[in-house]
Chain A
Amino acid sequence: MLATLLIVFREVIEAGLIVGIVLAATKGVARRGIWVSYGVAAGVIGACLVATFAGEIASFFQGAGQEIFDASVLVLAVCMLAWHNVWMAGHGRAMAHELKTVGAAVKAGNRSLIALAVVVGIAVLREGSEVVLFLYGIASQGGTSNVAMLAGGALGLAAGAGVTALMYFGLLTIPAGKLFSVTSWLITLLAAGMAAQAILFLQQAGYLEYLTGTVWDTSWLLSQDSILGRLLHTLIGYNDAPNGAQLAVYAVTIAAIVGLTRWERARHPRGGTIPSPA
């Protein structure tokens, strides 16, 4: 049971952190709970489908299907996160202060919430599919009893939900005026880390094998295997031995989001009370 718990927890921690950030980033937005729930539900269904068809997915692109799939959903998540930040830069003020009607609030909030719901769905799908494959493997072997497996799985999920709560309430301790600035930065770094992870998947499959040499190695200082290393890997894309392509993609993603955010804010001169990465 303990082994099941640890593996399930390991897998759900990333999704848990992302859901916590999304919840904090959308604090005060009408109907966010519903959209985040849609995201989680879609992610769970998607995870079961991906696990069921793992063999088929893997066989696409001469065996590189899994990596192409992972990289594609990560890039989609990066686009959604970037779009959310840019959109908030332009419409933040309208959302926060100038909404005359509840209807407009719901409409304005929904557009940005859909993007974040997609991010939540992708996070749950990626980690969830591995949990499903793992649990299915145990169940079919009959090594441990199904009860122990289910208990371990449930406890692992509960621990993951605990991470979400910690992240969320932790972020809420930040004063309201600074919260959006912090979540905007978190979302920018989260996106950059995901983009760097996407390039890694493509290289693992043998694509874009440029600048694959390790640039530096800080595993002696903070190993990516440690709990802190793992958390930072999810949150800001910490990598204890990044290669050149990853660093380039990471930097370009941050530059693109910050650049687009500034451009959007300039287009809406009165829209910038919600600070964004600058």
Chain B
Amino acid sequence: MNNVLAYLDPILFGALPYAVFLFFFLGTIFRYRAEAFTYSSLSTQFLENRSHFWGSVPLHFGVLAVLAGHIVAFLIPRQVLLWNSKPLRLYILEISALIFGILAVVGFVSAALRRYADIKVRVVTSLLDWAIYGLLILQAVSGVYVAIFHPWGSSWFAVSISPYLWSLVKFNPDITYLAAMPQAVKLHIVCFYLLIGLFPFSRLVHILVVPNPYLWRKPQVVRWHGRARWLAGEKG
């Protein structure tokens, strides 16, 4: 079994990332240009308001924090290792990462349960939504599992995963970094690639349209025909 998996490694970790990121960029751009109408968070709070809180809030804050941690470790691995050189600092980082990871698991599971339990929300849930939920739960659970059973991930991520990811960025994939990785870690990585591949076709696209200009624009928006004045935040 392990041999088969090892045989698959170059495909899963060398080729798959390029395929899914190609999908990701082409798909999101094409969808934004051709079908802007379908970009939406597709909120279901209107149909069910109570358990919505217990799914949506923990999952979003959990994922945001954990994702930010991964990105930091990817961008500045040296500094992360330096931070971890003192055990206390390492424990603080690992425990807070674990808490956010558990938050994400709790959020995804309760959001999926809500989708199943409330019939109104169920009717607006597509097959693809269920697939995304399955992958996200697998992703979060495998992440928490790794954090508990293969500890000090913040350090070994910086040593092995960061160089692997950088090798991908440099179009020179080096999967030897992953050779010794436990299966749970590999599962975690493959899940991520699959999510990236499904991203442009799914409701996940709402992540790309978070409303940052809102923080700077004037309260009122006025649009004029034939004048681009409204773009400049024309007063109301």
Q: Do A and B bind each other?
A: no
